[in-house]
């Protein structure tokens, strides 16, 4: 299903104005990760995500930071639309201050803060290589928590 098809289906089934804005995107930076994390969202396990604040700076895209109330169509690794989420909370803080509760909300691995820090440090270091802004334990992270609003074919 395409993002536009899912958005139309969602709007019709949930009485949302079809002209409401939304973003379409997938998690991670490869097909396998996008598939795995989208599945965690569909199962209700994952209701949080994080991104590098420095990436927004490097791309001159601070106006694109997630906003409470925004909708997103989540794509799998093949860019197929799988579900619609809605941003419930956004907070920005240093990497080393991300709380255990957010690690749990991300739903990955054993859901511990140690696991979250290990995999996200590696991911953010890769992002830093691309952006040219060094990653440190004090680098800012954009933490987003969301609700699952609709699953394709519901």
Q: State the sign of the Cα–Cα–Cα–Cα dihedral 62, 68, 73, 76.
A: positive
Q: Which residues of the chain carry a pLDDT beneath 50?
A: none
Rounded Cα distance between 91 and 128, Å, is 20
Give me the sheet containing 22-25, strands edge to edge: 22-25, 71-75, 81-94, 140-151, 48-52
Residue 108: what pLDDT? 93
pLDDT at site 59: 80
Domain 3-151 class, CATH top level = alpha beta
To the nearest whole number, what is the mean pLDDT of the chain?
94
Q: How far is CA 55 from the centre of its chain?
A: 14
Name the residue ranges covered by the structural domains of the chain: 3-151
The pLDDT tens digits for 85-125 are: 999 999 999 999 999 999 999 999 999 999 999 999 999 99
pLDDT at 61: 79
Cα 121 off chain centre by:
16
Structure letter (DSSP) for residue 86: E
pLDDT at 38: 97
Q: For residue 23, which of 78, 91, 75 has the smallest C-alpha distance?
A: 75
Q: What is the pTM of this model?
A: 0.92
Residues 6+ apart with CB under 8 A from 121: 95, 135
- Dihedral sign computed on CA atoms, order 119, 107, 105, 32: positive
């Amino acid at each position: 299903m395409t993002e536009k098809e899912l958005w139309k289906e969602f709007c019709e089934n949930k009485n949302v104005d079809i002209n409401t804005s939304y973003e379409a995107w997938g998690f991670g930076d490869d097909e396998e990760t996008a598939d795995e994390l989208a599945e965690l969202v569909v199962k209700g396990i994952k209701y949080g995500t994080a991104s590098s604040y420095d990436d927004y700076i490097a791309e001159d895209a601070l106006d694109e930071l997630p906003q409470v109330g925004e909708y997103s169509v989540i794509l799998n690794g093949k860019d197929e639309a799988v579900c619609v989420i809605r941003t419930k909370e956004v907070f920005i803080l240093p990497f080393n201050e991300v709380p255990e509760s957010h690690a749990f909300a991300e739903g990955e691995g054993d859901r511990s803060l140690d696991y979250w820090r290990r995999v996200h440090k590696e991911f953010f270091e890769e992002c830093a290589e691309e952006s040219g802004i060094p990653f440190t334990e004090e680098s800012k992270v954009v933490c987003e928590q969301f609700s699952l609003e609709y699953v394709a074919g519901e």
